[in-house]
Amino acid sequence: MYPIYRITVRWSEKQPEIPHKLRESSPGRFWNSVCWDAMERKVINVDTRIVQLWREWWPTYSAKFLEPAQLSITVESRDSDTWCSGWFSHWTFDTGQSDLEVLGSFAEYVDRIQRSDRTDKSSLLMGAEDEWRWCAGDRTPAPCRCLLCKQQGIVRIDH
């Protein structure tokens, strides 16, 4: 089991010139945000991760926004598990498992989540309960072991 964290980044930015119906945070500005789950090999210091995101990730990510301000970054411990969810995707660390072992591990994870009393099952699984959806990123048979996955030390199953 690996610790999983929810990372949430929230900021305001300048209202674009094109008319939108966005809720303004202050005159001429609106709120925006992004969040994702991150799985780590060991427990991390959340304050250190917040500073790391602010220094290393935020400058590049925020370059596409109009005058971003009022930045808020939170990192919250969620739970521990063997698989981490992404957008219609799950991944785990590559510890040398065969493809069959990876698929078996993922099937056990999906079964465990379905049997649980969690209220967030559907958003956590995002269709993973349908085994016929399982594939690699390029729609080849799962799991994905592409160059990017190898560089990150993970195996991934899209669905």
- Would you state the pLDDT for residue 66? 85
- Would you state the pLDDT for residue 14? 87
Spell out the residues 6+ positions from residue 107 whose beta carbon is closer than 8 angstroms to its own.
Answer: 131
pLDDT tens per residue across span 110-155:
999 988 888 777 778 888 888 888 988 788 889 999 999 999 999 9
| Domain ranges across the chain | 2-80, 82-158
Determine phi and psi for 9, rounding to 5 degrees. Answer: -120, 130
pLDDT tens per residue across span 79-94:
899 999 988 999 999 9
pTM metric for this prediction: 0.82
Query: What average pLDDT does this structure show over 9-38?
Result: 78
Rounded CA-CA distance 73/49 in Å is 10
pLDDT tens per residue across span 98-112:
999 999 999 999 999
Query: 2-14 and 69-81: which strand pairing?
Result: antiparallel
Say which residue the tokens 């699984």 belong to.
Answer: 125
pLDDT surpassing 60 at residue 22: no
Query: What average pLDDT does this structure show over 58-71?
Result: 91
Long-range CB pairs of 14-18, under 8 A, 24+ apart, other chains included: 14/66, 14/67, 15/66, 16/66
- Would you state the pLDDT for residue 50? 97
- Would you state the pLDDT for residue 36? 94
